[in-house]
Amino acid sequence: MGDSHKRFLQTMMSNGIISASQAIALHRHCCETHGAHYVADRLDEFINIINAQLQSLFMQIRKGMSEEDGLEYYALVNVTETDITRMASDYADNELELFRKTMDLIVDSESGSASSTDILNCADSLLTKKLKKKETELVLNKFVQDKWLNEKDGEYTLSVRCIVEMEQYMRTIYQDLIKVCHVCHNIALQVKT
């Protein structure tokens, strides 16, 4: 793996997820900065070289599409853990339980979203340790800042990072509840039926 690949990976590690347009610009910048041959339409091949090296670390850069804006994103994911336990080092038990309940609400909804009111109400029934309203709002803000959830006008949706990283977990846990795009075969929660 060359210096241009290493620089690309470092940026992915610090950001976790970047848009396809950012990835294209980063690919060009890394190649030009480190004197590597740059070919505009070879981003996926460039990433495949990085992924070959990441395989032994059980990491991978994966591509996914955002239901919010229809754009493609690239996310650095851990491929050994297949559920929410991957978040355990960053969140307390009751925060993880809130995240699970939020996922349940979103996946079970017609719109692929959950209102802040519904999430605040389910925070009262946490089995681990109940969260007060203000605490719940802070945790939800943290989920948004960490790019696990999106929020718009008090409605929460699963981010592209969440869907890409939690895809196997969601397919296992929610099975018949999740919808899958017939074209790209990705999970599609915000579809009109």
Res. 156: pLDDT tops 90: yes
Res. 82: pLDDT tops 60: no
Q: In 3D, which of 19, 162, 10 has the Cα closest to residue 77? A: 162
Domain boundaries, the chain: 3-78, 85-174
Query: If you classify domain 85-174 with CATH, what class do you get?
Result: mainly alpha
User: In this predicted model, what pLDDT tens digit does every residue of 91-124 receive, in sequence order?
Assistant: 888 899 999 999 999 888 888 889 999 999 888 8
Q: State the pLDDT at residue 182.
A: 66
- Domain formed by 3-78, architecture: Alpha-Beta Complex (3.90)
For helices 133-145 and 93-108, give the axis angle rounded to 10 degrees. Answer: 80
Looking at the DSSP assignment, which residues form a beta bridge with residue 17?
75
pTM over 0.75: no
Task: Round to whole Å and give the CA distance between 87 and 182.
Answer: 30
The alpha helices in the chain, defined as continuous H runs, are 3-15, 20-33, 43-54, 93-108, 116-123, 133-145, 160-165, 167-174
